[in-house]
Amino acid sequence: MTVEDPHTGKKQVRRVPLEGARTHAQARQQFEELLVNRRKGNLTTLKRTPTFSEFADSYLEFYHQAKDAKRASTLETEAYAIDRWKAQLGNLRLNQIKRIHVDSFVARRQSENKSARTVNLEVTVFRNVMKRAIDQKLIAQLPTENLRPLKSKARKRQLVMRAQIDQMLTLCHQPCFYNSRVAQPGERGQKLANAQEFSDYLRLLCFSGARKTEATRLKWSDIDWDNKQLTIGADGEVKNRKWRVVDFNPDLEKLLEEMKARRAPDSQWLFPSPRRGEADRPIKEFRESLGLVRTAADLAAFGFHDCRHFFISMCVMSGIDFMTIARWVGHQDGGVLIGKVYGHLSNEHAKRQAARIDFGGTKPEQNKAPAAAKEKTTVKPAADAQKNQSPPE
């Protein structure tokens, strides 16, 4: 067939393999399909395709250079997954990758006890890379076609109580730590090196519902003191690229006022990097501090996302409507997800809500008339009752 190179426009006569054709009729049918695809411009580029490793590198480079195409955190996550795919696929060229290679990758990751959600995300990253290969006409179809995601069961989060949050906040300032670990009996411990910053950060997550990376990028200009509102994601670096406004609640307002009094004069960030030098930049993370404090508090399963879970749960149990909560935390479904996920609230709250149910009848306490009132109540005979009735008009 005479095929035009989509990049150079040069036309060349190429031999096109008819895959799977075993008879003259099958070959003729596939040849006619190729003619149709050529007219529609759907033919793959007939040249040696790059290896997966080569193309994956160009994929990441393209999105690093493409402004606002993907968030930096998304690209970082994809890069980790792509490295694992490189190890699995080796130097296979794009057109050599088949479904069996994908299945082998999934099986290996499962044998490493990786969760179904993790494996599904890695397959999604691989699919993104291969979709770009299709866009560039390097392959004709995805090797993941008709591949069903692994069934995953979301982990039910236990409701973190305010007392547990307060316990961790207190431990930050206690002499519980020694040489970047929890102090052992007999050792002279010290408080957490960044005790104040970490406790402020933890409280901000709990009182605003912000995600961990959203909070580290907050600036003082994101606070509207007059309208008592905190804007999250003003830089566009949020999960759905849409900024949102969280109205002050009493705890959030008190925290921000306290932080304002301790504000670093040389930084625009709520949580500036302690190693920023002359370059004003925010702190990257508080992961090490969290590990120390939760070990000291014996809350090994606690993570930063539990603070967001705490915020939403407390809002639900306070009677805030789901739509308002969804607007505060950045959900785009109007509160549907909150209604599905946060139905496990504490038994005490459920009992309080049950006591408020009114089926339209008389409440039990109203049915109990005092004994004295019953004694004074007299019933007129039917004849007397009829005499007192007005005549019909």
Pairing relationship of beta strands 223-224 and 11-13 according to DSSP bridges: unpaired
For the cut 90, the answer to whether the pLDDT of residue 196 exceeds it is yes
- Say what the pLDDT of residue 47 is: 63
Tokens of 311: 């915020």
- Say what the pLDDT of residue 281 is: 92
89-103, 228-242, 375-389: segment of lowest average pLDDT: 375-389
pLDDT tens, residue by residue, 31-70: 888 778 777 766 655 567 899 999 999 999 999 888 767 8
- Say what the pLDDT of residue 44 is: 58
pLDDT tens, residue by residue, 117-133: 899 999 999 999 999 99
Tokens of 176: 């519980």
Mean pLDDT of the chain: 84
For the cut 60, the answer to whether the pLDDT of residue 266 exceeds it is yes
Q: What are the backbone angles phi and psi of residue 2, rounded to the nearest 5°? A: -90, 115
Of 38, 39, 32, 36, which is closest to residue 18 (Cα–Cα)?
A: 32
- Report the C-alpha gap between 38 and 139 in whole angstroms: 14
Q: Which of 37-41, 69-73, 100-104 has the highest mean pLDDT?
A: 100-104
- Say what the pLDDT of residue 37 is: 73
- Say what the pLDDT of residue 236 is: 77
Band (pLDDT 50/70/90 cuts) for residue 380 is very low
Do residues 94 and 130 touch, judged by C-beta distance below 8 A? yes
- Report the C-alpha gap between 290 and 168 in whole angstroms: 9
- Say what the pLDDT of residue 294 is: 92
For the cut 50, the answer to whether the pLDDT of residue 382 exceeds it is no
- Say what the pLDDT of residue 133 is: 92
- Report the C-alpha gap between 42 and 34 in whole angstroms: 9
Question: Which ranges in 41-71 belong to alpha helices (H)?
Answer: 52-65
pLDDT tens, residue by residue, 203-219: 999 999 999 999 999 99
For the cut 50, the answer to whether the pLDDT of residue 385 exceeds it is no
Q: Whole-model pTM?
A: 0.65
- The b/e string for 39-53 (b: 16+ C-beta within 10 A; e otherwise) is eeeebbbbeebbbbb
Tokens of 289: 């501090």
- Per DSSP, the three-state class of 15 is coil
6-15, 51-60, 107-116, 157-166: segment of lowest average pLDDT: 6-15
Band (pLDDT 50/70/90 cuts) for residue 258 is very high
Asked whether the CA dihedral 112, 115, 116, 119 is positive or negative, the reply is negative
Q: Tell me which CATH code domain 162-347 carries.
A: 1.10.443.10
For the cut 70, the answer to whether the pLDDT of residue 7 exceeds it is no
For the cut 60, the answer to whether the pLDDT of residue 346 exceeds it is no
Band (pLDDT 50/70/90 cuts) for residue 381 is very low
Average pLDDT over residues 225-236: 92
Domains 52-135 and 162-347 alike in fold:
no
- Say what the pLDDT of residue 121 is: 94
- Say what the pLDDT of residue 339 is: 79
Question: Which ranges in 140-286 belong to alpha helices (H)?
Answer: 162-172, 195-208, 212-216, 250-261
- Say what the pLDDT of residue 100 is: 94
- Report the C-alpha gap between 190 and 179 in whole angstroms: 9
Tokens of 132: 């770009």
DSSP secondary structure, 323-354, as one string: HHHHHHHT-SSTTHHHHHHS----HHHHHHHH
- Per DSSP, the three-state class of 22 is coil
Q: Which of 287-291, 339-343, 381-385 has the highest mean pLDDT?
A: 287-291
- Per DSSP, the three-state class of 131 is helix
Average pLDDT over residues 158-187: 90
- Report domain 52-135's class: mainly alpha
Asked whether the CA dihedral 82, 85, 89, 90 is positive or negative, the reply is positive
Share of the chain above pLDDT 70, in %: 84
- Say what the pLDDT of residue 45 is: 55
For the cut 50, the answer to whether the pLDDT of residue 379 exceeds it is no
- Report the C-alpha gap between 302 and 101 in whole angstroms: 37
Domain boundaries, the chain: 2-40, 52-135, 162-347
Average pLDDT over residues 288-295: 93
Of 169, 234, 153, 152, which is closest to residue 205 (Cα–Cα)?
A: 169
β-pair partners for 3? 12
- Report the C-alpha gap between 70 and 77 in whole angstroms: 11
β-pair partners for 166? none
For the cut 70, the answer to whether the pLDDT of residue 386 exceeds it is no
Contacts within 8 Å (CB) and 24+ apart, 70-78? 71/237, 71/241, 72/237, 73/213, 73/237, 77/121, 77/125, 78/125, 78/128
